[in-house]
Structure 1
Amino acid sequence: MASYRPWLGLFSCFLLFTVVFLGQKSGDFSISESEHHGDPGLLLFIIPGFIASYLSSKKRILCPLLGALYAVPLCLLIRHFWLTPGNSLWQELAYSVSAVFWCASGAMLYLFIRVLLQALQQLYQRQRQ
Protein backbone atom coordinates (compact mmCIF):
# COMPACT_ATOMS: atom_id res chain seq x y z
CA MET A 1 0.00 0.00 0.00
CA ALA A 2 2.73 2.48 0.90
CA SER A 3 5.02 1.53 -1.99
CA TYR A 4 3.73 4.43 -4.09
CA ARG A 5 4.51 7.04 -1.44
CA PRO A 6 8.13 7.75 -2.45
CA TRP A 7 6.87 8.44 -5.97
CA LEU A 8 4.17 10.68 -4.56
CA GLY A 9 6.76 12.74 -2.69
CA LEU A 10 9.04 12.89 -5.72
CA PHE A 11 6.23 13.90 -8.09
CA SER A 12 4.79 16.48 -5.70
CA CYS A 13 8.21 18.07 -5.24
CA PHE A 14 8.74 18.08 -9.00
CA LEU A 15 5.40 19.76 -9.59
CA LEU A 16 5.59 22.28 -6.72
CA PHE A 17 9.23 23.14 -7.47
CA THR A 18 8.32 23.85 -11.09
CA VAL A 19 5.37 26.04 -10.08
CA VAL A 20 7.43 28.05 -7.58
CA PHE A 21 10.39 28.39 -9.98
CA LEU A 22 8.30 29.58 -12.89
CA GLY A 23 6.26 31.84 -10.63
CA GLN A 24 9.42 33.42 -9.28
CA LYS A 25 11.05 33.85 -12.67
CA SER A 26 7.97 35.14 -14.45
CA GLY A 27 7.44 37.71 -11.70
CA ASP A 28 4.04 36.44 -10.58
CA PHE A 29 4.99 36.19 -6.91
CA SER A 30 8.47 37.63 -6.80
CA ILE A 31 9.40 39.19 -3.48
CA SER A 32 12.47 41.25 -4.27
CA GLU A 33 12.48 43.99 -6.85
CA SER A 34 16.18 44.79 -7.04
CA GLU A 35 18.41 42.75 -9.27
CA HIS A 36 21.68 42.78 -7.35
CA HIS A 37 20.57 42.00 -3.82
CA GLY A 38 19.72 38.73 -2.13
CA ASP A 39 16.51 37.08 -3.18
CA PRO A 40 14.24 36.25 -0.23
CA GLY A 41 11.92 34.60 -2.76
CA LEU A 42 14.23 31.59 -2.63
CA LEU A 43 12.74 30.83 0.78
CA LEU A 44 9.54 29.84 -0.99
CA PHE A 45 11.37 26.73 -2.17
CA ILE A 46 11.20 25.42 1.40
CA ILE A 47 7.52 24.67 0.81
CA PRO A 48 7.95 21.99 -1.93
CA GLY A 49 10.63 20.23 0.12
CA PHE A 50 8.50 20.32 3.27
CA ILE A 51 5.40 18.95 1.54
CA ALA A 52 7.31 16.30 -0.41
CA SER A 53 9.05 15.13 2.75
CA TYR A 54 5.67 14.80 4.44
CA LEU A 55 4.26 12.79 1.53
CA SER A 56 7.24 10.42 1.32
CA SER A 57 7.07 7.37 3.55
CA LYS A 58 10.78 6.58 3.43
CA LYS A 59 13.71 8.51 2.00
CA ARG A 60 12.23 11.77 3.25
CA ILE A 61 15.23 13.81 2.12
CA LEU A 62 16.14 11.89 -1.02
CA CYS A 63 12.70 12.13 -2.67
CA PRO A 64 12.41 15.94 -2.39
CA LEU A 65 16.00 16.32 -3.51
CA LEU A 66 15.49 14.10 -6.56
CA GLY A 67 12.19 15.80 -7.37
CA ALA A 68 13.89 19.19 -7.34
CA LEU A 69 16.84 17.95 -9.38
CA TYR A 70 14.51 16.42 -11.97
CA ALA A 71 12.57 19.69 -12.20
CA VAL A 72 15.61 21.91 -12.81
CA PRO A 73 16.18 20.98 -16.50
CA LEU A 74 12.48 21.39 -17.27
CA CYS A 75 12.38 24.77 -15.52
CA LEU A 76 15.47 25.99 -17.35
CA LEU A 77 14.10 24.87 -20.71
CA ILE A 78 10.75 26.54 -20.11
CA ARG A 79 12.50 29.66 -18.87
CA HIS A 80 14.77 29.79 -21.91
CA PHE A 81 12.26 29.03 -24.67
CA TRP A 82 8.92 30.38 -23.46
CA LEU A 83 9.65 33.10 -20.94
CA THR A 84 11.86 36.07 -21.60
CA PRO A 85 15.30 35.15 -20.29
CA GLY A 86 16.65 38.06 -18.29
CA ASN A 87 19.86 36.52 -17.04
CA SER A 88 22.62 34.40 -18.51
CA LEU A 89 22.52 30.62 -18.37
CA TRP A 90 25.11 30.59 -15.56
CA GLN A 91 23.03 32.94 -13.42
CA GLU A 92 19.93 30.84 -14.00
CA LEU A 93 21.87 27.69 -13.13
CA ALA A 94 23.18 29.29 -9.92
CA TYR A 95 19.63 30.33 -9.01
CA SER A 96 18.33 26.81 -9.63
CA VAL A 97 21.09 25.24 -7.53
CA SER A 98 20.18 27.62 -4.71
CA ALA A 99 16.54 26.64 -5.14
CA VAL A 100 17.45 22.94 -4.86
CA PHE A 101 19.37 23.71 -1.67
CA TRP A 102 16.35 25.46 -0.13
CA CYS A 103 14.09 22.63 -1.22
CA ALA A 104 16.31 20.10 0.57
CA SER A 105 16.38 22.46 3.56
CA GLY A 106 12.57 22.33 3.63
CA ALA A 107 12.73 18.53 3.77
CA MET A 108 15.19 18.70 6.66
CA LEU A 109 12.98 21.26 8.40
CA TYR A 110 10.09 18.80 8.25
CA LEU A 111 12.27 16.07 9.75
CA PHE A 112 13.44 18.41 12.50
CA ILE A 113 9.87 19.39 13.41
CA ARG A 114 8.81 15.74 13.34
CA VAL A 115 11.61 14.66 15.69
CA LEU A 116 10.94 17.63 17.96
CA LEU A 117 7.23 16.79 18.21
CA GLN A 118 7.99 13.12 18.92
CA ALA A 119 10.37 14.11 21.71
CA LEU A 120 7.78 16.47 23.21
CA GLN A 121 5.14 13.75 23.00
CA GLN A 122 7.40 11.26 24.80
CA LEU A 123 8.20 13.85 27.44
CA TYR A 124 4.51 14.54 27.96
CA GLN A 125 3.75 10.82 28.24
CA ARG A 126 6.50 10.35 30.85
CA GLN A 127 5.14 13.22 32.91
CA ARG A 128 1.65 11.72 32.84
CA GLN A 129 2.91 8.39 34.25
Structure 2
Amino acid sequence: MTSYRYWLGILSCFLLFSLVFLGQQTGLFGSTDHEHHGETGLLLFVVPGAIASYLSSRKRLLCPLLGALYALPLCLLIRHFWLTPSSSFWQELAYATSAVFWCVFGAMLMLFALGLLQTLQQLHRRQRQ
Protein backbone atom coordinates (compact mmCIF):
# COMPACT_ATOMS: atom_id res chain seq x y z
CA MET A 1 0.00 0.00 0.00
CA THR A 2 2.80 2.43 0.80
CA SER A 3 4.48 1.73 -2.54
CA TYR A 4 1.24 2.65 -4.29
CA ARG A 5 0.99 5.94 -2.39
CA TYR A 6 4.67 6.63 -3.04
CA TRP A 7 4.12 6.44 -6.79
CA LEU A 8 0.82 8.31 -6.49
CA GLY A 9 2.63 11.26 -4.94
CA ILE A 10 5.29 11.29 -7.65
CA LEU A 11 2.79 10.92 -10.49
CA SER A 12 0.44 13.58 -9.15
CA CYS A 13 3.30 16.04 -8.75
CA PHE A 14 4.57 15.20 -12.24
CA LEU A 15 1.20 15.86 -13.84
CA LEU A 16 0.29 18.96 -11.83
CA PHE A 17 3.76 20.48 -12.18
CA SER A 18 3.63 19.94 -15.95
CA LEU A 19 0.16 21.48 -16.20
CA VAL A 20 1.09 24.54 -14.17
CA PHE A 21 4.40 25.02 -16.01
CA LEU A 22 2.89 24.72 -19.46
CA GLY A 23 -0.14 26.74 -18.45
CA GLN A 24 2.08 29.60 -17.35
CA GLN A 25 4.27 29.43 -20.41
CA THR A 26 1.29 29.56 -22.77
CA GLY A 27 -0.29 32.45 -20.88
CA LEU A 28 -3.17 30.42 -19.48
CA PHE A 29 -2.38 31.59 -15.93
CA GLY A 30 -1.56 35.27 -15.70
CA SER A 31 -0.10 37.46 -18.39
CA THR A 32 0.84 36.43 -21.90
CA ASP A 33 4.20 38.17 -21.57
CA HIS A 34 6.76 35.38 -21.65
CA GLU A 35 9.48 37.39 -19.99
CA HIS A 36 10.18 36.30 -16.43
CA HIS A 37 10.10 39.36 -14.22
CA GLY A 38 9.90 37.61 -10.86
CA GLU A 39 6.18 37.21 -11.28
CA THR A 40 3.95 35.91 -8.54
CA GLY A 41 2.81 33.11 -10.86
CA LEU A 42 5.60 30.98 -9.45
CA LEU A 43 3.53 30.70 -6.29
CA LEU A 44 1.15 28.43 -8.21
CA PHE A 45 3.83 25.75 -8.01
CA VAL A 46 3.10 25.47 -4.28
CA VAL A 47 -0.12 23.66 -5.14
CA PRO A 48 1.41 20.57 -6.88
CA GLY A 49 3.89 20.18 -4.03
CA ALA A 50 1.22 20.38 -1.35
CA ILE A 51 -1.09 17.93 -3.12
CA ALA A 52 1.70 15.45 -3.80
CA SER A 53 2.88 15.67 -0.21
CA TYR A 54 -0.63 14.97 1.03
CA LEU A 55 -1.05 11.99 -1.29
CA SER A 56 2.28 10.42 -0.30
CA SER A 57 2.33 8.06 2.63
CA ARG A 58 5.94 8.50 3.68
CA LYS A 59 8.73 10.54 2.19
CA ARG A 60 6.44 13.53 1.89
CA LEU A 61 9.29 15.76 0.70
CA LEU A 62 10.97 13.28 -1.61
CA CYS A 63 7.89 12.45 -3.70
CA PRO A 64 7.14 16.06 -4.72
CA LEU A 65 10.83 16.65 -5.40
CA LEU A 66 11.11 13.58 -7.61
CA GLY A 67 7.87 14.37 -9.42
CA ALA A 68 9.01 17.92 -10.17
CA LEU A 69 12.47 16.78 -11.24
CA TYR A 70 10.98 14.14 -13.54
CA ALA A 71 8.67 16.73 -15.10
CA LEU A 72 11.38 19.33 -15.56
CA PRO A 73 13.08 17.89 -18.70
CA LEU A 74 9.72 17.19 -20.33
CA CYS A 75 8.50 20.73 -19.70
CA LEU A 76 11.74 22.25 -20.98
CA LEU A 77 11.63 20.11 -24.13
CA ILE A 78 8.01 21.01 -24.84
CA ARG A 79 8.79 24.66 -24.17
CA HIS A 80 11.82 24.62 -26.47
CA PHE A 81 10.43 22.66 -29.42
CA TRP A 82 6.68 23.38 -29.51
CA LEU A 83 6.29 26.74 -27.84
CA THR A 84 8.38 29.59 -29.09
CA PRO A 85 10.82 30.44 -26.30
CA SER A 86 11.47 34.14 -25.86
CA SER A 87 14.32 33.65 -23.42
CA SER A 88 17.60 31.81 -23.57
CA PHE A 89 17.86 28.22 -22.44
CA TRP A 90 19.67 29.25 -19.25
CA GLN A 91 16.93 31.68 -18.29
CA GLU A 92 14.32 28.99 -18.88
CA LEU A 93 16.35 26.54 -16.79
CA ALA A 94 16.63 29.09 -13.96
CA TYR A 95 12.87 29.68 -14.08
CA ALA A 96 12.18 25.93 -14.04
CA THR A 97 14.59 25.37 -11.16
CA SER A 98 12.86 28.04 -9.11
CA ALA A 99 9.56 26.34 -9.94
CA VAL A 100 10.97 23.11 -8.45
CA PHE A 101 11.93 25.07 -5.33
CA TRP A 102 8.40 26.41 -4.93
CA CYS A 103 6.98 22.95 -5.48
CA VAL A 104 9.09 21.52 -2.64
CA PHE A 105 8.21 24.55 -0.53
CA GLY A 106 4.56 23.63 -0.99
CA ALA A 107 5.35 20.15 0.30
CA MET A 108 7.02 21.71 3.35
CA LEU A 109 3.99 23.88 3.97
CA MET A 110 1.80 20.78 3.89
CA LEU A 111 4.10 19.05 6.37
CA PHE A 112 3.91 22.08 8.63
CA ALA A 113 0.12 22.17 8.42
CA LEU A 114 -0.18 18.44 9.13
CA GLY A 115 2.19 18.71 12.09
CA LEU A 116 0.30 21.69 13.46
CA LEU A 117 -3.01 19.88 13.07
CA GLN A 118 -1.65 16.80 14.83
CA THR A 119 -0.36 18.93 17.72
CA LEU A 120 -3.70 20.69 18.08
CA GLN A 121 -5.50 17.33 18.14
CA GLN A 122 -3.20 16.06 20.88
CA LEU A 123 -3.80 19.20 22.94
CA HIS A 124 -7.53 18.83 22.48
CA ARG A 125 -7.39 15.18 23.66
CA ARG A 126 -5.39 16.17 26.74
CA GLN A 127 -7.90 18.84 27.66
CA ARG A 128 -10.76 16.36 27.40
CA GLN A 129 -9.10 13.96 29.87
Aligned position for 2:27 = 27
Name which of structure 1's ranges 31-40 and 15-24 shifts more when overlaid on structure 2: 31-40
CA positional deviation for 1:128: 1.1
Contact kept, 8 Å, 2:49 with 2:103, in 1: the verdict is yes
**Gap change, CA 1:36 and 1:108, over 3 Å in 2:** closer
- Code of the aligned partner of 1:99: A
Aligned position for 1:57 = 57
Which structure 2 segments of 5+ residues have no match? none
* Residue-by-residue CA offset, 1:13-54 (whole Å, 9 max, x unaligned): 000000000000111112585946321000000000000001
Name which of structure 1's ranges 24-33 and 36-45 shifts more when overlaid on structure 2: 24-33
Pairs aligned (count) = 129
SS of the residue corresponding to residue 126 of structure 1 reads: helix
CA positional deviation for 1:72: 0.4
Is residue 116 of structure 1 aligned with residue 121 of structure 2? no
CA positional deviation for 1:84: 1.1
Aligned position for 1:91 = 91
Aligned position for 2:48 = 48
Which structure 1 segments of 5+ residues have no match? none
Aligned position for 1:75 = 75
Normalised to the residue count of structure 2, the TM-score between the two structures is: 0.95
**Gap change, CA 1:32 and 1:2, over 3 Å in 2:** same
Residue identity over aligned pairs, in percent, reads 72
Q: Root-mean-square deviation (CA), in Å?
A: 1.5
Q: Which runs of 4+ in 1 moved over 4 A?
A: 31-34
**Gap change, CA 1:111 and 1:33, over 3 Å in 2:** same
